[in-house]
Amino acid sequence: MRDRANHHSRLRGPVQAALTAGLGAALSGCAGPLSTLAPSGPAAASIAGLWWTMLAGSAVLFVLVLVLFALVTRRPGWGSRVSPARWIVLGGLVLPAVVLIPLICYALLAGERLLPLPGHAPTRVDAIGKQWNWTFRYPDQGGLETHDVLHLPAGTPVDIVVTSEDVVHSFWIPRFAGKIDAIPGHATRLRVQADQPGRYEGQCNQFCGLGHAGMHFTVIVDRPEDYAAAVKQAAATGEVKK
């Protein structure tokens, strides 16, 4: 018995260390410049809210399953009066539906708020992907272009019209909105809005060749009154990502 206790005590240290390291690694992914759980705009906030709601719903469903498992384990014969067919209906259909149907309704409502619905035409920026960089064109600023640096005005909806010159890419600024594909010969539209001025990061989220890992870009959010001058200066000086 003493040898067994010593064996367990020797195992406890490495197991606890592994669990702590795993938990730390998991939590570290919840922050940073590319974290979807640190939203800096209304679209990203809606996506983050949907994620937390889905997490809570899955936790509730998991707890309900564990309760049933505990009842069956601790009380042998519990539920034996219920036929197998009824168990399939109650456990396989009714129980998940109680949690999943509200989650689906919430997801549909959240997704509706992310669509670039018609209305007042916001500022437009064209994003053109090409192995392995991004060109940003500003039609509202006389067609000026920047490369791998995107300027946006704070607190203003912006339509990003995304396309590609070669292969399929994916345009993504995690802290502002969801991702959208850049497809050759086709334009897709993503509406974003940044809450506060600052420096953020975006990337291609679709494997597009050997240089995919370096296909990221810098996003600079300017004050609305400084936006036009910032775009003009960036286009003139060839501002580069950092």
Q: List average pLDDT for each run of 10 residues in the chain, which is 242 residues long.
A: 48 48 50 78 86 87 85 77 80 81 84 67 89 94 93 92 94 91 92 91 91 93 93 84 69
- Provide the pLDDT for residue 119: 59
**What pLDDT is attached to residue 116?**
66
Q: Give one DSSP letter per residue of 210-234, joined into a string.
A: TTGGG-EEEEEEEPGGGHHHHHHHH
Q: How confident is the model at residue 120, as a pLDDT?
A: 63
> How far, in Å, CA of 190 to CA of 204, rounded?
14
Amino acid at 162: V
Kindly report whether the peptide bond that precedes residue 51 is cis, defined as omega within 30 degrees of 0.
no
For the chain, domain boundaries: 35-114, 123-237
Q: Are 152 and 191 in contact (CB under 8 A)?
A: no
Q: Which distant-in-sequence residues (6+ apart) come within 8 Å of 139 by Cβ? A: 124, 125, 126
Does the pTM surpass 0.85? The reply is no
For the domain made up of 123-237, the CATH class stated in words is mainly beta
| Cβ(202)–Cβ(171) below 8 Å | yes
**Quick one: tokens of 36?**
């979807």
